[in-house]
Structure 1
């Protein structure tokens, strides 16, 4: 505009879209998270993109989309590009959420945006910290699991960072999220099922459990959630034919297996309730050969149902 190459009226026309205060892009160009992050840093070049926006750039886009869809019916704000700045005076405008925070050198990473440029992002551990202190615990764990799987960040890394920021708002929630992280959960829904099992105070499962023969070490099969102590496990959201194929060897090996989820159509609460029913049945099977106090043996239950 200073050179007279474009007018304010043209910027307000249909040929451009606004990406923030005094930041515009041609309407024909796609708008993705990289573009939004670049636009936010044009206004705050010394800042660092954080929160869900940084999680998307670190590869957790599927988890963030799942969280956004879940939060759409709540009063928790979502969709803004969060930026941490060290100086005072910056304020949030439009879709850019600006917050003041001091960042150590190891909490900021230079990220290549694929267009011969770079962006400043918070490190995976700091991203988990910022997500955990602003979102409900379950939603934060969904994002944290995805970041752990994509970037290799561990719960110990998050706890060490939380210890550095002891006394700040939301750090207790950060520690709670770190204690629930598990990088083996390969989808948001499986993270939600795992958390539902824990919140229902059922026995803690092994995620992505691999069953092997003790004599040869040969792999028998894999389960989404497993309880090796009781030789039982659950397959989640599998097609019936695929679930049967996965379960055949495990059943022959003496394991109790159930397939739940109806390929993603069953609500998580119902899946957790079915897991509780399955574990109760496994527990009855374990004690079926012991007599009661009167010396009588209980009726042996019928053969376990494999498919639900």
Structure 2
């Protein structure tokens, strides 16, 4: 446990002489019953998952977002409950969501000594249980962290054809793409597909006619030379980044590319504007599509 910066069972630490009861009360805070962390340590989603596993004392399997966190998935909300699967009924403490389920051993593995569902089984559960706009960014990030692909998720689904949410999962799996580098990129791609456009290629590399690297686009259609970029706040507030973006856009336009830029306001409040601009860019490149 090193410096006890991660969650640990308090009773074990006291029995092992790692801390005294006085130290446990004054220098650490309780996360779950008999699970503590050093005072001042802020747990990420992985830390919350580990704390829940310590509370279960080896009797449960981390599933869903908690399993995804231990597999290295980024951008997970640590404020959401940890997720554990157990056989039979159980009354978990506040902050832990219990799933009544027995996970097949072939769909479990260990990460840092904790029992979790495999990446593919984790994706299967997330894709069928969460709303699609919540599930897709997590699935994209899980695929990026573990290297699994859509076909791996589909293979697990084949073994559970009657599982609740199977229909939603079947429609979502073809949209999964580990190339997305942030949740907004995933949601931008989902907006485009829901708007009737072909799925764009993610992390699209653009080179000039000599093969020299020019840019890497968040997503786009190389054949039509139309790209879509999601710009976070730093693209507008950092003067150096802003200058780079201007130069980059000029280089792309000189090669015949049309770039549609998206920010949080456009994505979440004016999605129709994004679709209008993408269609206009495609039209300017000679692409005609029904809307």
Normalised by the shorter chain, which TM-score bucket? 0.7 to 0.9
- Summarize deviations over 1:57-108 as a string: whole Å, max 9, x none: 222231x23xx8xxxxxxxxx71111112x3243333222222323233321
In the other structure, the counterpart of 1:304 is none
Structure 2 Cα separation of the partners of residues 224 and 24 of structure 1: 41
Superposed, which structure 2 residues align to 1:265-284 within 5 Å? 266-270=266-270, 273-284=273-284
Give 1:134 shift.
2.0
TM-score, normalised to structure 2, is: 0.77
Larger Rg: 1
Q: Which residue of 2 aligns with 1:19?
A: 31
CA RMSD of aligned residues (A): 3.2
1:219 equivalenced with 2:231 (yes/no): no
One of 172, 176, 182 as aligned partner of 1:177: 172
**TM-score after normalising by structure 1:** 0.73
CA contact (8 A) 1:125 1:153 kept: yes
Which ranges of structure 1 fall in alignment gaps of 5 or more residues? 69-77, 113-117, 289-308
1:119, CA displacement in angstroms? 1.2
User: Matched residues in 1 for 2:154 and 2:257: separation?
Assistant: 36
Query: Out of 249, 255, 261, which is 2:251 matched to?
Result: 249
Residue of structure 2 in register with 1:165 after alignment: 160
**Matched length:** 262
Q: SS state of the match for residue 211, structure 1? A: strand
Give the Cα–Cα distance (whole angstroms) in 1 for the partners of residues 94 and 252 of structure 2.
55
Are the counterparts in 1 of residues 225 and 285 from structure 2 also a CA contact under 8 Å? no
- The correspondence of residues 1-308 of structure 1 with structure 2, limited to 5 A, is 17-21=29-33, 23-25=34-36, 28=39, 30=41, 32=43, 33-42=45-54, 43-62=56-75, 64-65=76-77, 79-85=80-86, 87-112=87-112, 118-213=113-208, 216-237=210-231, 238=235, 239-261=241-263, 264=264, 266-270=266-270, 273-284=273-284, 286=286
SS in 2 for 1:160: helix
Shift of 1:148: 0.7
Shift of 1:29: 6.1
Distance verdict in 2 for CA 1:12–1:260, change over 3 Å: closer
Distance 1:122 1:287 in 2: 44
Whether the 8 Å contact between 1:83 and 1:98 is mirrored in structure 2 is yes
Aligned equivalents of 2:199 and 2:37: distance in 1? 52
